[in-house]
Amino acid sequence: MKIAKKNFSLIKKLGAYQIIAVLAALLLASLAIMATTFVFDSTESQNNTEHLVLATEHQKLSQELEQLVQKMRQGEAIEASAIQEKEAAINRLIEIYENGDPQTGLPGFTGNSKALLNDVKLIWQNMQKEVDAIALNQQGNLSLKETARRIRPYPSEIMQISSDITFLLLQKKYPIDTIVHAGQLQVLLQSIVKNTNAILLGGENTANAIELASKDSDRFEQILNDLKSGSTERNIKAVTDKTIYQLLSDLQIKWYEPLQASVNSMLTLAPALYAVENAASNFQAQNAQSLDALNALEQALIAQATTTSNAAYIGIASGVIALILIILIGYVLWKDS
């Protein structure tokens, strides 16, 4: 207690001007702390807002890139520049996440958001590999889709001729096994058309559709040969009627052989399509992971913004309390003097 009184007496001896100077200095220091805290909070808040905007833009770019990938998967010609533009934009965002933007002065990510950035980067690297695989095989995929489109004119003609053949066999009273065998041509043709359309649509069933179209095509050829030459094994009587035989020959040469050539071409190009399908599926799964990682990143940024604001409020509150104490001390000293 004596020491406190002694110190207080010492303060009184400093004189009014000295007391005012000391209190003014303390007051300015307190105001400076509050101002610095406020500016820091404003800057950090602005940085977090801009980081959130970048993360949202990243999500948008990922979704746009997936749309382009799906179009390529379906055999649509996409300019390489369109893909490269999206990739470059995402790479630029990741660069800013890591090192900041020297043009705007925006710093890179810090704290938990920086730790989560590794997941975003790793997923993006895997996504780029899939995009590269699609680009590498896209020409073969486009050729296959174009080949499938070329098949479209054939089915209607083949269907009509096959129907005429079946009708004439029935009219000429050929054995029932032969007539049924001829009727299978139309069933097989419908299956080929169905699987060709599935190839054009793309998706996980494309590989199976190519295989089925090839099997149906081979079976179609076998039936034509059985009808022209007969088959003891399958109890098929050879067609001897000139009109029907000519229809069978026309069907095989003018319509079926071009169709079969197209199906065989699709089989040759199938590896490129499989590669595109596989890469597109992987990309889709990885993009879902990327969006989840970006959502986690956004939540971390929001949490950091909240923590920074709370710390700023504490700093400002402390400054206000210090300011009040300084004023009270000054008032007491002034009254006592």
Give pLDDT tens digits for 28-76: 555 555 545 444 445 566 777 787 888 889 889 999 999 988 888 877 7
Give pLDDT tens digits for 90-100: 999 899 888 88
pLDDT of 41 reads: 45
For residue 287 the two structure tokens come to: 């993009």
pLDDT of 111 reads: 72
pLDDT of 33 reads: 55
pLDDT of 89 reads: 93
Q: Please report, for residues 80, 134, 257, 263, the alpha-carbon distance to residue 239 in angstroms, rounded to integers and kept in the order given.
A: 55, 49, 20, 27
All residues at 6 or more sequence positions from 63 whose CB lies less than 8 Å from its CB, including other chains = 287, 291
Q: Are 256 and 158 in contact (CB under 8 A)?
A: yes
Flag whether the pTM goes above 0.85: no
Question: Cα(214)–Cα(195) distance, rounded to whole angstroms?
Answer: 10
pLDDT digits (tens), the chain, 337 positions: 444 555 545 555 555 555 555 555 555 555 555 545 444 445 566 777 787 888 889 889 999 999 988 888 877 778 888 888 999 999 998 998 888 888 888 888 777 777 778 888 999 999 999 998 888 888 887 888 888 888 777 788 888 888 999 999 999 999 999 999 889 988 998 898 888 888 777 666 777 888 898 899 899 999 999 999 988 888 888 999 999 999 999 888 888 888 888 888 888 888 888 888 888 889 999 999 988 888 888 887 777 655 544 444 555 555 555 556 556 555 555 555 5
Q: What is the 3-state secondary structure (H, E, C) of 261-294?
A: HHHHHHHHHHHHHHHHHHHHHHHHHHHHHHHHHH
pLDDT of 142 reads: 81
Q: Are 238 and 229 in contact (CB under 8 A)?
A: yes
